[in-house]
Amino acid sequence: MNSVKDNLKGRDLLSLHDFTPGEIQFILDYAADLKQKQKNGEPHELLKGLTLAMIFQKSSTRTRVSFEVGMYQLGGHALYLNANDLQLGRGESIADTGRVLGRYADGIMIRTFAQGDVEELAECASIPVINGLTDLLHPCQILADLLTVQEHKGRLAGLKLAYVGDGNNVCHSLLYGCAKTGMHISVASPEGFLPREEIVATARYDAAATGAEVTVTTDPAEAVSGADVVVTDVWASMGQESEQQARMRVFAPYQVNEQLVAKAASDYIFLHCLPAHRGEEVAAEVIDGPHSVVFDEAENRLHAQKAVLSLLMAK
């Protein structure tokens, strides 16, 4: 255990693909332990006196609040930095920003558009960098999702997860997360909106080591058939608002509704990273129904990220 913990110290979290199955499982188990400590009222100020710089080029509810509250509960401090408040807005490079923040803070979380910006920041900063979301990946969300599945199902390996909708950042990180933990994943997206081929190929490579199966289809019924976990996301992500009407027409057959989830396992659970648009990507009867665990999932952003923060930023 100590060797895994030591190996995580000082690391960046840019993509779940960069972590071994054992490291991901360690993070999830550590998150569960921290969650229990919080429930028991046990102090766990593992980052006392440390500061997390949080760069937001995309707005957020769950990301900002969970990281800020998480740092507070760990005994540290979180500094909110809107992109318009930084010299990034006046043309300072990502590299210089990373070098400067490395002199002030103990870790950086960035929520932005380009994955390349996060990678450049990590390359130049002398402190751990955490990907809070990019257009390509959303690793922190998927750690929370995996923690939620583990809590409700008691395991990850061998389960089937179905993702229905846009082949976006959530979908990409689910492909990595499932492949690394031995969960079978079946993705259903319309033509033109499938997950990136290189992401799928990498996930299949990772899955070969864990026994997971990776399936990509255009048929939602095929994807959901027998699924233990059903997941969807909004049809138009941040920055795609101008495409909303066109996307609604394309994605209409991909709504997660009662007719579709009837094809899942009888004890399936439903996940959505939120915010959700009832009546669009998901029917109210599903997201507000007895199989939905979306608010457990939202809470687990806090616990999963506390594990990431305390493991990566530990001195």
Catalytic pick from 11, 124, 233, 291? Answer: 233
Active site residue 138: yes
Catalytic pick from 73, 141, 150, 305? Answer: 141
| Residue 171 assigned as binding residue | no
Those residues whose C-beta lies under 8 Å from the C-beta of residue 233, and which sit 6 or more positions away, are 165, 166, 168, 170, 171, 272, 273, 281
Beta-sheet pairing, 107-111 with 77-82:
unpaired
Active site residue 38: no
* 275 cis-preceded (ω within 30 degrees of 0): yes
| Residue 61 assigned as binding residue | yes
| Residue 59 assigned as binding residue | no
| Residue 238 assigned as binding residue | yes
| Residue 155 assigned as binding residue | no
| Residue 87 assigned as binding residue | yes
Catalytic pick from 11, 17, 111, 303? Answer: 111
| Residue 139 assigned as binding residue | yes
Amino acid symbol at 22: G
| Residue 111 assigned as binding residue | yes
Q: CB of 143 within 8 A of CB of 62? A: no
Active site residue 178: no
The whole-angstrom separation of Cα 101 and Cα 97 is 6
| Residue 273 assigned as binding residue | yes
Active site residue 124: no
Q: Count other Cβ atoms within 10 Å, centred on residue 179.
A: 27
**Separation of first and last alpha carbons in the chain:** 17
How many residues are there in the chain?
A: 315
The whole-angstrom separation of Cα 302 and Cα 35 is 9
Active site residue 233: yes
Catalytic pick from 11, 17, 138, 303? Answer: 138
Active site residue 141: yes
Beta-sheet pairing, 107-111 with 229-232:
unpaired
| Residue 141 assigned as binding residue | yes
C-alpha distances in Å from residue 256, one per residue of 76, 78, 198: 40, 37, 26
Catalytic pick from 17, 273, 291, 303? Answer: 273
| Residue 7 assigned as binding residue | no
| Residue 174 assigned as binding residue | no
| Residue 99 assigned as binding residue | no
Catalytic pick from 17, 272, 291, 301? Answer: 301
Residue numbers in the known binding site for L-ornithine are 169, 233, 237-238
Q: Mind telling me the catalytic residues?
A: 111, 138, 141, 233, 273, 301
Residues of the binding site for carbamoyl phosphate:
60-63, 87, 111, 138-141, 273-274, 301
